[in-house]
């Protein structure tokens, strides 16, 4: 008769179970670390969001300024830039 499980399958299953167990233990430890260091993590996350918000606002101001400058000069791109069409020279 055929065996349903081989030693290779058993070894692979044990290996996968070991990795899953390690991952579960790591997640529990990470959760406990977050609970223990909650004030520090809150400050770090708040600082990250503050910096991300500041960066976004500065980027938006830069875009508004660029759009205003392009609208003022009447050009839709850079100054002193020409697009050459090869068919014009024929």
In a domain, 81, yes or no: no
pLDDT per residue as tens digits for the range 4-37: 556 777 888 888 999 999 999 999 999 999 899 9
Q: Over 50: is that where the pLDDT of 1 sits?
A: no
Cα(19)–Cα(34) distance, integer angstroms: 22
Number of domains in the chain: 1
pLDDT per residue as tens digits for the range 30-86: 999 989 999 998 999 999 999 999 999 999 999 998 888 877 766 555 667 777 777
Cα(86)–Cα(25) distance, integer angstroms: 66
In a domain, 32, yes or no: yes
pTM assigned to the model: 0.49
Q: What is the pLDDT of residue 23?
A: 93
In a domain, 37, yes or no: yes
Range of the domain at 57: 12-75
Please report, in angstroms and rounded to a whole number, the separation of the first and last CA atoms in the chain: 83
Q: HSE, CB side, 13 Å, CA atoms: give it for residue 24.
A: 6
Q: What is the pLDDT of residue 61?
A: 94
In a domain, 4, yes or no: no
């Amino acid at each position: 008769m055929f065996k349903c499980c081989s030693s290779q399958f058993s070894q692979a299953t044990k290996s996968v179970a070991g990795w899953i167990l390690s991952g579960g233990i790591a997640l529990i430890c990470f959760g406990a670390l977050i609970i223990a260091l909650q004030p520090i993590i809150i400050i770090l996350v708040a600082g990250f969001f503050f910096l991300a918000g500041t960066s976004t606002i500065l980027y938006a101001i830069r875009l508004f300024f660029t759009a205003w400058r392009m609208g003022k000069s009447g050009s839709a791109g850079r100054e002193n830039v020409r697009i050459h069409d090869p068919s014009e020279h024929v």
